[in-house]
Amino acid sequence: MSSRPELRLDWCSHEAAKYACEKWHYSRCIPKSKLVRVGIWESGVFAGVIIFGSGACPQIADPYGLSQTAVAELVRVALKPGHTHETTKCVSVAVRLLKKKSAGLRLLVSYADPEQGHHGGIYQGGNWIYSGLTSPTEWFELCSTGERIHSHVYRRGQPGRATRDKAAGVIRSVKLVKHKYLMPLDDDMRRKIEPLRKPYPKRAGSAGSGTPPIQGGRGGATPTPALSSQEDANGKTRTA
């Protein structure tokens, strides 16, 4: 019987993370923001990436009484089909790496998209706290490509562009909700967050809660200073 491939997680390049997102994540893109990228290798072969950022919501920290720099979002989990090690394990190791590297970071947030058939199995297996469905948020969908852009990001482009494009039928407005998961990074934060825990949702159409191999959320547009290893949209890394 062949042994299981050796698992290794370490910081990876922008190019490697971009490749994984474009090949193995349903969004087919890497967030255009400052990110922390954790690469995954199985027996020396690149198998994917886990990416942390600040998230699309500028009020991500407000519900928990934290500063913006104390909260980060897990924005991408992109692993190649047929990877051997469980996604939950890879996420757990990546979280430990991030926690060790980023002083002052106290809480992680991630989302599972029901439209993609995701219910958050990779977070349930890691004992993340499920806090329920998010409030509906507005996204704009480009009719030509189907690409979705958060309304805040789209409207920042040009004043009045969203109104003009919508009137011309170039885009349509989409209201979306997602499953929200929380991972406190210290005991005090866990005590504060634990009362928010709700029963885990099950996979649609199933009595179980299996784990999809590829899952993740959309990225944000502002940096998180508490993240120690960051990069800009051009892939240049800097240290906070």
Q: How far apart are CA 106 and CA 181, in angstroms?
A: 14
3-state secondary structure of 210: coil
Tokens of 131: 């806090």
Cα–Cα distance list, 100 to 53, 58, 186 (Å): 16, 25, 12
Q: CA angle at residue 50 from 44 to 53, to 5 degrees?
A: 145
pLDDT of residue 167: 77
What is the value of pTM for the model shown? 0.76
Torsion of CA 224, 230, 232, 235, to 10 degrees: -150
Name residue, tokens 């002052």. 104
Query: What are the extents of the domains in the chain?
Result: 7-134+178-239, 136-176
Instruction: Identify the CA nearest to 161 among candidates 150, 171, 175, 148.
Output: 171
Per CATH, which fold does 7-134+178-239 belong to? Aminopeptidase (3.40.630)
Give residue 240's Cα distance to chain centre. Answer: 20
Cα–Cα distance list, 226 to 72, 74, 194, 230, 238 (Å): 8, 14, 23, 10, 12
pLDDT of residue 140: 82
Tokens of 28: 């087919």
Question: What is the residue type of 213?
Answer: P
Q: What is the pLDDT along the chain (240 residues), one digit of tens a residue?
A: 457 889 999 999 999 999 999 999 998 999 887 899 999 999 999 999 999 998 667 788 999 999 989 999 999 999 999 999 999 999 999 999 999 999 899 999 999 988 878 899 999 999 999 999 988 877 788 887 777 777 777 777 777 777 778 777 788 777 778 999 999 999 999 999 999 999 999 876 543 333 333 333 333 322 334 555 444 333 444 333
Question: What is the residue type of 167?
Answer: A
Q: How far apart are CA 27 and CA 217, in angstroms?
A: 9
